[in-house]
């Protein structure tokens, strides 16, 4: 105001300058916010060279070292995989050492890792999706859902820099679009939890763990939880509000409209 009085500018000119200053600050704030989301996206989807090389070395080890191709678990321990007297934990992942790798085919590296580094007394079994005969197109609802989701994600394959260059969208929407093409959401492994009964038909109870979970305490109390007749107890992983990525909620793939006719 003091500057207006000194320069004797009229109120209209002052208001216009003030509006331009506010607009400029809003643009700078928005740009900084989008850069933050972009850098976060790049950091989360990148991987250290050493970890990528680990997967390649293990794959090579699997091909040349018979010890890296040992049956997991050993033949005498196979019955324990369907024994309900044991505690069964499921980790569905294509990552090694909880690190996302560039190579999609990580079954052989995982087989090599646990063959060469047993975790006794734990009994480890490594299986790939192709080991399950029932997992075929037309029989699995999640596969149909993923095909439909392809159309949504195809809009965002122009690259992260193009998405971030948008001048009109809200930064939060830009961040969601950056996540949409991520393998984290595209991978069938990420949604296989919907078919745990088919994966392990002989087991009464399993504990399913996401591959980004850090265990800091004993998990045995989980087996003593009274499920009150329910078949699933879970910690919420997403609220389902992001329209750009596939939902992890069972209701997105299973029809609960007629509970009496529902056969899990």
10-residue stretch averages of pLDDT, the chain, 264 residues long: 61 80 84 76 64 77 87 89 89 61 62 85 84 68 64 55 61 69 66 79 85 77 82 67 60 64 54
- ∠ CA 246-180-256, nearest 5°, is 5
Per-residue model confidence (pLDDT) at position 164: 54
Per-residue model confidence (pLDDT) at position 201: 86
Per-residue model confidence (pLDDT) at position 2: 63
Per-residue model confidence (pLDDT) at position 101: 36
Q: Helix or strand or coil: residue 100?
A: coil
Per-residue model confidence (pLDDT) at position 80: 92
Rounded-to-integer distance, Cα 235 and Cα 177, Å = 25
Three-state SS string over the chain comes to: CHHHHHHCCCHHHHHHHHHHHHHHHHHHHHHHHHHHHHHHHHHHHCCCHHHHHHHHHHHHHHHHCHHHHCCCCCHHHHHHHHCCCCCCEEECCCCECCECCCCCCCHHHHHHHHHHCCCCCCCCCCCCHHHCCCCCCCCCHHHHHHHHHHHHHHHHCCCHHHHHCCCCCCHHHHHHHHHCCCHHHHCHHHHHHHHHHHHCCCCCCCEEECCCCCCCCCCHHHHHCCCCCCCCCCCCCCCCCCCCCCCCCHHHCCCCCCHHHCCC
Per-residue model confidence (pLDDT) at position 198: 80
Per-residue model confidence (pLDDT) at position 83: 92
Q: Helix or strand or coil: residue 178?
A: helix
For the entire predicted model, the pTM comes to 0.61
Per-residue model confidence (pLDDT) at position 58: 83
């Amino acid at each position: 105001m003091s500057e207006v009085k000194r320069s004797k500018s009229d109120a209209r000119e002052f208001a216009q300058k003030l509006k331009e200053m506010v607009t400029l600050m809003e643009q700078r704030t928005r740009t900084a916010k989008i850069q933050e989301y972009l850098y976060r996206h790049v950091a989360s989807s990148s991987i250290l060279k050493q970890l990528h090389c680990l997967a390649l070395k293990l794959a090579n080890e699997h091909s040349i070292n018979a010890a890296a191709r040992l049956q997991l678990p050993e033949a005498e321990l196979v019955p324990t995989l369907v024994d309900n007297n044991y505690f069964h934990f499921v980790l569905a992942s294509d990552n090694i050492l909880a690190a996302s790798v560039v190579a999609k085919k990580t079954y052989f590296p995982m087989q090599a890792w646990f063959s060469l580094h047993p975790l006794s007394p734990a009994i480890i079994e490594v299986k790939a999706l192709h080991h399950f005969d029932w997992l075929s197109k037309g029989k699995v609802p999640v596969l149909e859902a993923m095909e439909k989701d392809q159309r949504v994600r195809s809009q965002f394959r122009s690259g992260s820099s193009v998405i971030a260059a948008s001048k009109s969208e809200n930064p939060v929407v830009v961040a969601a679009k950056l996540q949409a093409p991520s393998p984290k959401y595209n991978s069938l492994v990420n949604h296989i939890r919907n078919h745990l009964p088919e994966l392990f038909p002989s087991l009464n109870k399993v504990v399913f763990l996401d591959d980004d979970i850090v265990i800091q305490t004993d998990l045995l109390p989980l087996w003593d939880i009274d499920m009150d007749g329910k078949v699933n107890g879970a910690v919420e992983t997403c609220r389902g509000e992001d329209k750009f990525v596939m939902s992890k909620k069972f209701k997105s793939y299973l029809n609960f409209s007629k509970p009496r006719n529902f056969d899990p």
